[in-house]
Structure 1
Amino acid sequence: MDVASIRLSVFIIVLCICALIEAIKPKRPLTQPKGFRWANNLGLTGLNSVILMITMPLLAVEAALWAEQNQIGLLYWLSIPTQIATVIAVIALDCSIYWQHRLFHRIPALWSLHKVHHADQDIDVTTGARFHPIEIWLSMWIKIALVISLGVPPLAVIIFEIVLNASAMFNHSNMRLPLPADRVLRKWLVTPDMHRVHHSTIRQETDSNYGFCLSIWDRMFQSYIEQPKLGHKQMNIGISVFRQPQEQRIDKMLTQPFRKN
């Protein structure tokens, strides 16, 4: 089985598991028609995959293989054993994604792209895959640059991409975890309750809890907010613009970065 098949298989499995738990134990009542949102959010995800296949000359795994063959990158230059380098690389990539996410909030041109993700007025497992194609494209180039400069082993890239996809779906899901479980898990991992704060309409909360997998970065870099001011049940999800129902259509999402309302 090739890498793409593994990623797709994990995506489908995690999507189904999170969707099942959401249906059985939801955290919040959804405000938008679920079928409509799912069709458009997952449709955008599929479109992004096709665009990457057509426009990218190589993906992160191919970049890692090239770096390995040519022994290019910091971890190769330091002659770190492969097993240790793999662990270091996965953690370093997760930290890099934290900072990338934070920059996409801070730089206006990048926020224009990223707000497509935040314009979803509900948050569930499909929100974790809802991104504008240009953001996905830029993110892939950033990842390729990191992989080559750090000398990330190919196995580390595969592990990281699987963990990243699974984490994004898990922490965006609308599942209701028992509070004791949430308290224990969020010491190390980003939980749905922790990340939901990030999707608040209150900008201070939107600009917090940037992590995708490990929760330590938000505490380390002082961007952690434990709970939303209005509580998880009463908080409003989304951003102040693009709140009309039709804005959840793919065609509208594709043009949101270039419109103010």
Structure 2
Amino acid sequence: MGLINKIFDKKAAPLLIAIYVLLFVAERRRKLRKPTEPLTKRIVINSIVAVPAFGLLRFVFLPAMVKLTLKNKTYGVGYLLPLPSFLRLICTFLILDYGNYLWHVLNHRVPLLWRFHVVHHTDLDLDTNTALRFHFGEMIGSVFFRGLFVLLSGATAKEVLAYELVFEAATQFHHSNMKLPAVTETYLNKLIVTPRMHGIHHSINKDETDSNYSVIFSFWDRMHQTFKINPYQNHIIIGVPEYRDAKQMTARYLLTMPFKKL
């Protein structure tokens, strides 16, 4: 898997770290929502939860996706519809991103999947650090579902790794607490998911949580009528109604939460 080391480890990972640092600084200077919990405590907890998930991303998920691309030489959209490289890349990105929209919806609607995804939503604040807070069980499940869309897309290994870079960067961006000019964000979320848009998805109000599932391109929500942008950010309470006790949300509790009675 030298390709992963060459593209992801040496190029994508440093770039993602740089993006994280820039967003972290930016959201300290221009806050979209007022924080409710100590930042240092959240960084420690979310980082601990992230370690096994990121380990699986690097050593299980990415190798599995790259290995699946070897089968794309015989079928998949990229094989069935020979396209110029630029159009092929666009087509691949759209198929992979639509797969992630559907995967996110399933994480909210299938009880077994929600057990793992709820760990992400229990953060009482929403910022770049929340983008780290994913349970390793969710990563395991994504191998099978997202792998299906790798096969459907006919993506090459380089296209899969390129998409993963954009996917991770977009996740950091739309989880950030960075306040963009309202006019700028209005134009941006016609195409991509923005902090205000995703902030609504993290609301304790179920009608708001059940909206804005997109990861990179926002038009999937518009297409499926799950798009919502109306609530004011200062009216949104972040989190899950049943998990409002910050003292309970330790790293150990979050890692074992899916295996307990919710």
TM-score (norm 2): 0.91
Following superposition of structure 1 onto structure 2, how do residues 186-197 of structure 1 map, counting pairs within 5 Å? 186-197=189-200
Q: Secondary structure of the residue that 1:58 maps to in structure 2?
A: helix
Amino-acid identity (%): 31
| Residue identity matched to 2:63 | L
1:49-99 per-position Cα deviation (integer Å, ceiling 9, x unaligned): 2244565693323322x135x433232133334332221011111111111
Q: Is 1:141 the counterpart of 2:147 in the alignment?
A: no
Task: Choose the corresponding residue for 2:39, options 34, 40, 55.
Answer: 34
Following superposition of structure 1 onto structure 2, how do residues 181-260 of structure 1 map, counting pairs within 5 Å? 181-228=184-231, 231-260=232-261
Task: Choose the corresponding residue for 2:16, options 11, 27, 35.
Answer: 11
Please state how far the C-alpha of 1:234 moved relative to its aligned partner.
Answer: 2.9
Query: Is the 8 Å Cα contact of residues 192 and 217 (structure 2) preserved in structure 1?
Result: yes
Query: Is the 8 Å Cα contact of residues 95 and 149 (structure 2) preserved in structure 1?
Result: no
| Greater mean alpha carbon deviation, residues 240-249 or residues 102-111 | 240-249
Following superposition of structure 1 onto structure 2, how do residues 45-124 of structure 1 map, counting pairs within 5 Å? 45-52=50-57, 58-64=63-69, 66-68=70-72, 70-124=73-127
Q: Distance in 2 between matches of 1:56 and 1:170?
A: 22
1:23 equivalent in structure 2:
28
Q: Secondary structure of the residue that 1:59 maps to in structure 2?
A: helix
Please state how far the C-alpha of 1:151 moved relative to its aligned partner.
Answer: 1.2
| Residue identity matched to 1:194 | M
Q: Distance in 2 between matches of 1:124 and 1:83?
A: 33
Query: Is the 8 Å Cα contact of residues 15 and 125 (structure 1) preserved in structure 2?
Result: yes
Q: Distance in 2 between matches of 1:168 and 1:53?
A: 17
Structure 1 alignment gaps of length 5 or more: none
| Greater mean alpha carbon deviation, residues 194-203 or residues 10-19 | 10-19
| Residue identity matched to 1:67 | K
Q: Distance in 2 between matches of 1:253 and 1:108?
A: 17
1:125 equivalent in structure 2:
128
Q: Secondary structure of the residue that 1:239 maps to in structure 2?
A: coil
| Greater mean alpha carbon deviation, residues 150-159 or residues 179-188 | 150-159
Cα RMSD (Å)? 1.9
Query: Is the 8 Å Cα contact of residues 16 and 169 (structure 2) preserved in structure 1?
Result: yes
1:173-228 per-position Cα deviation (integer Å, ceiling 9, x unaligned): 00111111111111111110011000000001000000111111111110011122
- Number of corresponding residues: 257
Query: Is the 8 Å Cα contact of residues 61 and 139 (structure 2) preserved in structure 1?
Result: no
Following superposition of structure 1 onto structure 2, how do residues 143-182 of structure 1 map, counting pairs within 5 Å? 143-182=146-185
